[in-house]
Chain A
């Protein structure tokens, strides 16, 4: 690919922010004074990167710290990371809204962003009037908007409300209108997406995804999101950011997504009456005990869990349920533990070692943990409930749309 296809070039870019508002405003005044002074030297900014750390004023920190990458047309880069990692700040610099404190950014072609939908909207004006305002803010002339106004109104699915004041719209209609204007009118060479892919109902979301895919095919895209399924299905490349730095620049999105999951901490929580406790738990994968704080397990592996439970009261009998939760603590798999006859397993008082087969771990790539729930056999009172037990990561070459992934081998029957 020739050099001319490189649309985004980011070289050693850094940006500092201030934590305290009052200090930040004062530094703002200082920065402005320096900016308008034609005699101010460039000495500070030309300092070598190693002398960087000295140029932080009290209360400041590096929101973006020495980030570099290049992006070609047709590529889609996923920027992922925890909250506060610096993703949106980096995007703002690429969009020309704020200036880097160090480094160089080169953007070729027209830049478009699906970020602030409905910018310039005034609630008192009608939807139609606001289309013209928003379109004008996005840089289009009246004639260009006239040519596409029908398309926009159709896409937004607002119907006759288009001629009512926007303040009577629901929040969903607002977002749909903003999205419609942006998607129909913007024809960028570089496209920024900041968490805005899923809007409205499922039909509209699919329409949006298709429209964005069309735009993405012709441009270089930078996509900021916390939704790993979107990232996996859209992006050809992933950069994981943490505290302003590039943690990983992965040419395989699955690697980046896995790294992201490894940064999430699941805290263990205990609830219940306390009449039962879990003394030990271990995960055995394909016959081998998985060790380490967060073992990486291939998709589809056979596994079982070994639990050592103790029930304080020797007379009590208890039932056991094991759940597998994802990183958002949504229950994905429920395993009601049964005996050979299919009845709920009765665990007697005292200590017990239970082996719970999990079958094949056909889970989508991501981070998971167990919830162990012990309840009283007679009245179902929770004796002990542990959350965040044995966190593990499922690794796969691709992140699919769906929590359970079960490749299916089909045959074609000729008629």
Chain B
């Protein structure tokens, strides 16, 4: 009878890459049920205590777009060059952007919330990240309902580009998650990162064509090209609005890069989690 043997040494697991990859995939598989259970636990706990319930999932992005819709409708802001009514444009933009921000915040939030467990029990830690991601997807699905309502009300009709929508969502999720994973190691130790993300994401929204269309000239044009979130947002919205695709090659490139970074992020997480547990307290 062979019993599993585990060896702990000061060596970095990078010295045995094959074993590292095998352990990573093994743990990802092993943590499926736990991730689901943690997600259901967090979901029940989150909405059981509120009266409005799931409405809270889409109130924040709607509130964000309300400001801009007001400014535009009053003529304080003049945004031109869009094919669909501005209200729909802005709401779709903020709802999609919220998916990106959620995915970005999810790793740090998930690890912070699980500190007591992480410090005392050995279990497949990827489950924590996956549970966080399930929550992001769930919140997105609720917003999707609202997106459909918005599209129906303002008669926004998608064309065949709609087929690319799932891919666009993967791009947004992977992009946000990759940034979140990159910030996770330092962010777990230093609270500055978590607070910084909140401030930066507010600002980042203004630097991305969320509530205005992408420009081609000037600083905004430069940002539209070099801000990695730009192609993700514009392409996602274009799949829904039936407009022509303007940043498709960049979108594909960034999505693939993001997926690769997510994988590297998971590897790095495996490597640094013992150090985080040692230093983070709880």
Which residues of chain A have a CB within 8 Å of any CB of chain B? 17, 24-25, 27-29, 31-32, 34-38, 40, 42, 45, 93-111, 113, 115-116, 119-120, 122-125, 129, 132-133, 136-139, 141-142, 189
Contact = CB atoms under 8 A, between A and B. Distances in A.
A96 B121 contact: no
A120 B11 contact: no
Given A35-B275, A109-B3, A115 B44 contact: no
Main secondary structure of the interface of B (DSSP, over half): helix
Contacts of B11: 42, 45
Contacts of B274: 96-99
Interface in B94-125: 116-123
Contacts of A189: 3
Interface centre among A31, A32, A109, A189 (most CB of B within 10 A): A32
B121 A137 contact: yes
B5 A108 contact: yes
Given A40-B12, A108-B3, A133-B38, A125 B45 contact: yes
B185 A104 contact: no
Contacts of B155: none
Contacts of A104: 7-9
Q: Could you say which interface size class chain B belongs to? A: 35 or more
Contacts of B205: none
B6 interface: yes
B282 to A, nearest CB: 11
B37 A101 contact: no
B249 interface: no
A109 B4 contact: yes
Given A36-B271, A98-B278, A122-B45, A25 B37 contact: no
Given A24-B279, A35-B12, A133-B37, 17 more contacts: A25-B189, A25-B190, A25-B279, A32-B271, A32-B275, A36-B268, A93-B8, A95-B122, A104-B9, A107-B6, A115-B121, A116-B120, A119-B120, A124-B48, A133-B41, A136-B37, A139-B123
Interface centre among B14, B116, B275 (most CB of A within 10 A): B275
Question: Can you list the 7 inter-chain pairs with the closest CB atoms, starting with the nearest?
Answer: A116-B120, A28-B279, A105-B8, A124-B45, A109-B3, A136-B37, A98-B278
B9 A97 contact: no
Nearest to B185: A32
A80 to B, nearest CB: 21
A109 B10 CA distance: 21
B14 A97 contact: no
B142 interface: no
Contact of B44 (A34, A103, A125): A125
B87 to A, nearest CB: 37
A95 B185 CA distance: 22
A137 B8 contact: no
Interface in B235-270: 268
A116 B123 CA distance: 12
A96 B122 contact: yes
A45 B12 CA distance: 11
Contacts of A109: 3-4
Contacts of B15: 42
B121 A116 contact: yes
20 contacts: A28-B275, A28-B280, A29-B185, A32-B185, A32-B186, A36-B272, A96-B8, A97-B120, A99-B275, A103-B9, A107-B5, A108-B4, A110-B4, A119-B116, A125-B41, A129-B41, A132-B37, A136-B37, A137-B123, A141-B33
B49 interface: yes
Interface string B169-210: 000000000000000011001100000000000000000000
A319 B175 CA distance: 83
B277 interface: yes
B276 interface: yes
A36 B279 contact: no
Contacts of B272: 32, 35-36
A45 B119 contact: no
A97 B277 contact: yes
B34 interface: yes
Contacts of B189: 25, 28-29
Nearest to A105: B8
Interface in B124-183: none
Contacts of A132: 37
Contacts of A103: 9-10
Contacts of A100: 8-10
Contact of A142 (B33, B49, B278): B33
A28 B278 contact: yes
Given A31-B275, A36-B268, A106 B5 contact: yes
Nearest to A133: B41
Nearest to A132: B37
A42 B10 CA distance: 9
Contacts of A29: 185-186, 189
Contacts of A122: 41-42, 44-45
Contacts of B44: 122, 124-125, 129
B120 A115 contact: yes
Contacts of B45: 122-125
Interface centre among A100, A101, A107, A137 (most CB of B within 10 A): A137
Contacts of B7: 104-107
B196 to A, nearest CB: 16
Interface centre among B4, B37, B38, B276 (most CB of A within 10 A): B37
Contacts of B48: 124
A79 to B, nearest CB: 17
Nearest to A120: B117
Contacts of A133: 37-38, 41
A98 B41 CA distance: 27
Interface centre among A25, A37, A101 (most CB of B within 10 A): A25
Contacts of A124: 44-45, 48-49
B112 to A, nearest CB: 15
